[in-house]
Amino acid sequence: MRKGPRPETFPGPPQSQVSQLTDPETRRRLSLTMAERMLRLDGIKGGLSRRAPPGTIGFFLDPEQCCSDVDSFLLGNEIAHVHLEDDGSLHAVLPEEVMQAAIEARWAEPHPMAGMPTVSPRTVLIYAPRDEGEIETIMNLLQYAYDAARRD
């Protein structure tokens, strides 16, 4: 369970977190830590997100490793992205049961356009980490996104 109430968010576009943010230097450091860890996963490459503000780092799975379920991706082969230059929050597509658990535990909320054309119904905003300890929970969620997107 994430400590405290949910942060306030703006529905967008783009959807973003507007409260419970760390100072810009800490936020950037925590975001870069998550990005570095994502880029260590087999078949993941970083790049500019295809569906986010400038400065957002997208995480793209090698097409040869992608499953056939388009609802496992944000767009194309992008499985998640971190809003490095904004609030430090992330968007990802989680398996249904993980998504529900993350929402109930106050780690995430549904994307306001989830289920609309080209937006997976399992797309969530994962709240920005407030410290190093919260990165572990977020990385666990991102591991689920990664595992679900990989070919069986």
Confidence class for position 141, pLDDT limits 50, 70, 90: very high
Is 152 a residue whose pLDDT tops 90? no
For the stretch 44-56, pLDDT in tens is 999 999 999 999 9
Examine residue 13 and state whether it is found in any structural domain, yes or no.
yes
User: Containing domain of residue 137, as a range?
Assistant: 9-149
Judged against a pLDDT cut of 90, whether residue 139 lies above it is answered with yes
Whether 1 maps to a domain, the answer reads no
- CATH code: domain of residue 89: 3.90.1150
CA nearest to 35, candidates 26, 45, 25: 45
> DSSP letters of 29-94?
HHHHHHHHHHTTSTTEEEEE-SSS-TTPEEEEE-GGGB-S-GGGSSBTTEEEEE-TTTTS-EEEE-
Q: Is residue 2 part of a domain?
A: no
In the predicted model, what is the mean pLDDT of residues 125-143? 98
Give 89-132 pLDDT, tens digit per residue. Answer: 999 999 999 999 999 999 999 999 999 999 999 999 999 999 99
**For residue 22, which of 139, 132, 104 has the smallest C-alpha distance?**
132
Nearest-angstrom CA–CA distance, 93 and 150: 12
Question: Is 71 part of any domain?
Answer: yes
Confidence bin at 88 (pLDDT 50/70/90): very high
- Sequential DSSP letters for 132-149: HHHHHHHHHHHHHHHHHH
Residue 27 lies in a domain: yes
Q: Residue 15: how many CA atoms within 13 Å on its side-chain side? A: 22
29 falls within a domain: yes
Q: What single DSSP character describes residue 105?
A: T
Per-residue pLDDT tens over the stretch 10-44: 998 999 999 999 999 999 999 999 999 999 999 99
In a domain, 118, yes or no: yes
When divided into structural domains, the chain yields a total of: 1
Domain-located, residue 3: no
